[in-house]
């Protein structure tokens, strides 16, 4: 199979990834092989490739194939898989497998399983023409969903949905979003469905324009966003997907007493005033049931990933564009193009 391989972590400009030929994967017990139609390019891919997460044990090994938001068609089915067939369209998210028996798996919080395997980080991922996947963690794709638009649902979509579930905004409530991009632009759509009044903090003019296009009130991160948010009235909640300590501090300051800040990136929290009873909670992808709900929303036309496509051999260029902030929402690699 064709695949983009990370040989060793390093700055994307130094060429740490390259196109290679690898042996085709074989479906074992409870597994499937997927012919990849589309794979989204996530900022966490860039963090892994550049070595930002080596201290967290990511990548688990090298050489490794990155990519964890994958859509394709099943071409092989392993033993003890009777609910999926060759030819079925499926999607695979970062959660590649879990133990199935820990307290988290048993309560529908399998993304917190301590034995979980992560697509493209602890096992080979979707920057390839073929992907080996765990059948129990593959999601049938509803009819009518385009592969390219569906691929980002398997990371930004589920991540945005889980983050929103921790806020549960009431109609008319005020929500601040820090970071408009792959995840952020789907948060904006989900917040609009909930009837929230959304203020979107971003740096680039392109991301500010995208926020306005999606019905949010754009706030320029370079022009004292806290002042702008305060002038709009205290926020009921804030969601942070901008990898910035400053953004997190601004989010904590912007929410009202008793408000909630949801954090989906690594950042240093700093001081939180206990007497205001503000709540800061982390979020990571989401459960398999939530993934189904995201797909249902997309199939009904209620949310849509905004995408730009590239062939697989341009993965390095796409990652460079992402690092430079030149991806408007989500870049998607299309191996067959």
Residue 93 CB neighbours (<10 A): 26
Query: Which residue pairs, CB below 8 angstroms and at least 24 apart, start in 264-269?
Result: 264/159, 264/163, 264/183, 264/239, 264/240, 265/179, 265/240, 265/241, 267/240, 267/243
What is the DSSP code string of 294-322? Answer: HHHHHHTTS----EEEEEGGGHHHHHHHH
Q: Is the pTM of this model over 0.75?
A: yes
Q: Residue 264: its pLDDT value, please?
A: 96
Q: Residue 297: its pLDDT value, please?
A: 98
Q: Residue 336: its pLDDT value, please?
A: 85
Q: Residue 168: its pLDDT value, please?
A: 92
Give the integer Cα–Cα distance in Å for 60 and 119.
11
Residue segments in the chain with a per-residue pLDDT below the cut of 70: none
Omega before residue 63 within 30° of 0, cis: yes
**What structural domains does the chain harbor?**
2-152+286-334 (3.90.180.10), 157-282 (3.40.50.720)
Give the integer Cα–Cα distance in Å for 19 and 313.
6
Percent above pLDDT 70 for the chain? 100
Q: Residue 176: its pLDDT value, please?
A: 98
Give the integer Cα–Cα distance in Å for 273 and 261.
13
Give the integer Cα–Cα distance in Å for 134 and 222.
44
Q: Residue 337: its pLDDT value, please?
A: 76
CA angle (210 as vertex; 305, 235 as ends), nearest 5: 100
């Amino acid at each position: 199979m064709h695949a983009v391989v990370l040989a060793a972590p390093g700055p994307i400009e130094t060429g740490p990834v390259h196109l290679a030929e690898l042996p085709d994967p074989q479906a074992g017990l409870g597994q499937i092989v997927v012919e990849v139609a589309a794979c989204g390019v996530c900022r966490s891919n860039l963090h892994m490739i550049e070595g930002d997460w080596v201290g967290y044990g990511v990548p688990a090994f090298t050489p490794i194939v990155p990519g964890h938001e994958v859509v394709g068609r099943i071409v092989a089915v392993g033993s003890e898989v009777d609910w999926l067939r060759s030819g079925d369209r499926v999607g695979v998210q970062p959660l590649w497998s879990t133990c199935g028996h820990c307290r988290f798996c048993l309560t529908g919080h399998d993304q917190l399983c301590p034995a979980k395997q992560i697509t493209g980080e602890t096992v080979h991922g979707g920057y390839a023409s073929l992907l080996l996947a765990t059948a129990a963690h593959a999601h049938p794709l509803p009819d009518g969903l385009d592969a390219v638009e569906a691929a980002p649902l398997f990371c930004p979509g589920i991540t945005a949905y889980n983050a929103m579930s921790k806020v549960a905004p009431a109609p008319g409530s005020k929500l601040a979003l820090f970071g408009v991009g792959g995840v952020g632009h789907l948060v904006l759509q989900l917040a609009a469905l909930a009837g929230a009044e959304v203020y979107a903090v971003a740096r680039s003019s392109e991301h500010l324009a995208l926020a306005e296009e999606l019905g949010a009130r754009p706030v320029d991160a370079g022009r004292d966003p806290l002042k702008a948010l305060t002038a709009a009235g205290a926020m009921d909640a804030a969601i942070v997907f901008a990898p910035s300590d400053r953004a997190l501090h601004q989010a904590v300051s912007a929410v009202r007493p008793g408000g909630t800040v949801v954090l989906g990136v690594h950042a240093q929290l700093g001081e939180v005033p206990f007497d205001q009873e503000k709540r800061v909670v982390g979020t990571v992808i989401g459960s398999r049931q939530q993934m189904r709900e995201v797909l249902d929303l997309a199939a009904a036309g209620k949310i849509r990933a905004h995408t730009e496509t590239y062939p697989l051999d341009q993965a390095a260029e796409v990652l460079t564009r992402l690092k430079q902030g030149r991806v408007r929402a989500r870049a998607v690699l299309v191996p067959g193009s």
